[in-house]
Amino acid sequence: MSRSSEGRLIVISNRVSAPKGSTSGAQGGLAVALAAALRENGGIWFGWSGEVTEQYTGQIDFQRNQGVTTAVVDLEEQDVEEYYEGYANRTLWPLFHYRIDLAEYERDFAGGYQRTNERFAKTVRPLIEPDDLIWIQDYHMFPLGAELRKLGCQNRIGFFLHIPWPPRRLLATLPGAKALVEAMFDYDLLGFHTQEWLESFCDFAIHEMGATIEGDVARVGDRCVRLLADPIGIDAKEFAQASAGVQARLSYRRMRDSADGRDMIVGVDRLDYSKGLEERFSGYERFLIEHPEERKEVFLLQIAPPSRVSVETYRRIRNSLEGLAGRINGEYADVDWVPIRYVNQGYSRDVLAGIYRAAKIGLVTPLRDGMNLVAKEYVAAQNPEDPGVLILSRFAGAAEQMKDALLINPYSAEEISDAIQQALRMPKEERIARWQALMDGVQKEDVTWWATRFLDSLRQARPRIEEPA
């Protein structure tokens, strides 16, 4: 990765996780990607500690870990409720995943979100030196750049969005949408995973705010911001190493033994309604109905560690999936076979790598996803001589790059069923050809490529304040 000779890199995101390599339990895609980027660049990673304190003090806890300094603060209970669980996860997350039916619009949430971003800005401001590059991550922090500007910060500030950007008619339902987008013009660079999300942003800016687009720059009045479609990747090298390690090989063996000659289909997702898990189970059930001869020849392993458990919609999706898995298993299981193994715990990355490799099919069917790293991890973990087949939703950002997967509409149980059948029957030469094309992309456009493109583009962004002539 190209290092800046001028300044350090300051990464700011809601949660900070020190680079640990292989960890147990679920680790968000964002955390995995950023640890790799920071390990290369050096600098400071600032965010919320995940801890709650009685009163916000802005006291920073610094730690140094494998070349990366992390700086975290505790938040008040009310901040967590309104900013994190409220505005971020009950308002923005559903809205940005096209689920306005689940989005909750509350003034308190919006107020708490703004207040917490102001707190973050005031706390991090003294850590910033004049030539540092600042890189803010994700939907928890849309207004942070504007708040830093108010405090006189003239550094180059970039923002990357890890989730989709919604169509403008949906975003228009959010009270205060214009102010939120308006604040994004205080950044020097806005990054999105795909061209589609970038175009949706432009669509809103043009039609709701009178913006003009010239090349890769969006302009409103005398303010402008550069736009970049920059798909995130995985640390493909590290992942391949993990797949070849002892842990992964043990887990591969364990899965093959327990599969007992049957073909395994695997899904790995945070338990989230955006991931299309109900639709996936229904598509798999359709396959069992349409292909009774295959019934005892396959099984679906769905790993779904719970996330955001304090949010009601997440409790509902969990209940609903338990019901669905129980019903399908009750209906089709026999004394020596269960169609769905539904597991609510997380595994270490190494164990996961072995599980991916043991699976004949990777089933990735989100209804909307900014990118989806599981699709890339599944590909990276395959045996080149006998690779499995990736079935991927057209509505994941990853579908823009991964055209050699079997692309399906996740709302169609029939398409899921047909794709499973096609994958099981696919000749080895075709599997190898498709996998090779996918693997080339995963290796070339990896996490280092992603971060380098973003940071290079940010460095080239014009300086905020023009020198007086």
Q: Is 32 in the site for ligand GDG (CB under 6 A)?
A: yes
Question: H-type helices in 236-348, by residue range?
Answer: 236-244, 246-259, 277-290, 312-332
Distances (CA, A) of 347 to 18, 74, 341, 376: 18, 27, 15, 17
Q: Residue 460: is it exposed, middle or buried by C-beta count within 10 angstroms (0-12/13-18/19+)?
A: exposed
The span of 35-43, 194-202, 365-373, 433-441 binding ligand GDG (CB under 6 A) equals: 365-373
Site for ligand GDG in 206-265 (CB under 6 A): 232
Q: How many CB atoms lie within 10 A of CB 4?
A: 17
Contact pick of 348, 409, 422, 436 for ligand GDG (by CB under 6 A): 348
Could you tell me which stretch among 30-38, 74-82, 195-203, 286-294 binds ligand GDG (CB under 6 A)?
30-38
Considering only 44, 148, 264, 373, the residue that binds ligand GDG (CB under 6 A) is: 373
Contact flags string 265-284 toward ligand GDG, x per CB under 6 A = ---x-x--------------
Specify whether the backbone of 50 is left (phi greater than 0), alpha (psi in -120 to 50) or beta. Answer: left
Closest CA to 356 of 444, 240, 232, 271: 240
Is 230 considered catalytic here? no
Q: Name the segment binding ligand GDG (CB under 6 A); options: 28-36, 56-64, 140-148, 329-337.
A: 28-36
Residue 25: CB minimum distance to ligand GDG, A: 6
* Nearer to ligand GDG (CB atom), residue 96 or residue 155: 96
Size of the site for ligand GDG (CB under 6 A): 26
Name, in order, each residue with C-beta under 8 angstroms of 466's C-beta and a sequence gap of 6 or more.
none
Given the residues 162, 186, 404, 418, the one annotated as active site: 162
Site for ligand GDG, residues 125 to 164, rule: CB under 6 A:
162-163
Q: Which two tokens stand for residue 115?
A: 């207040």
Q: Is 372 in the site for ligand GDG (CB under 6 A)?
A: yes
| DSSP state at residue 41 | H
Question: For this structure, is 97 an active site residue?
Answer: no
423-430: list long-range contacts, CB under 8 Å, 24+ apart: 423/360, 423/361, 423/388, 423/389, 423/391, 424/263, 424/294, 424/298, 424/360, 424/361, 426/389, 428/386
CB of 374 to ligand GDG, least distance (A): 4
Residue 354 touching ligand GDG (CB under 6 A): no
Residues in touch with ligand GDG (CB under 6 A): 26-30, 32-33, 162-163, 232, 268, 270, 303, 305, 346-349, 352, 369-374, 377
Catalytically active residues are 162, 369
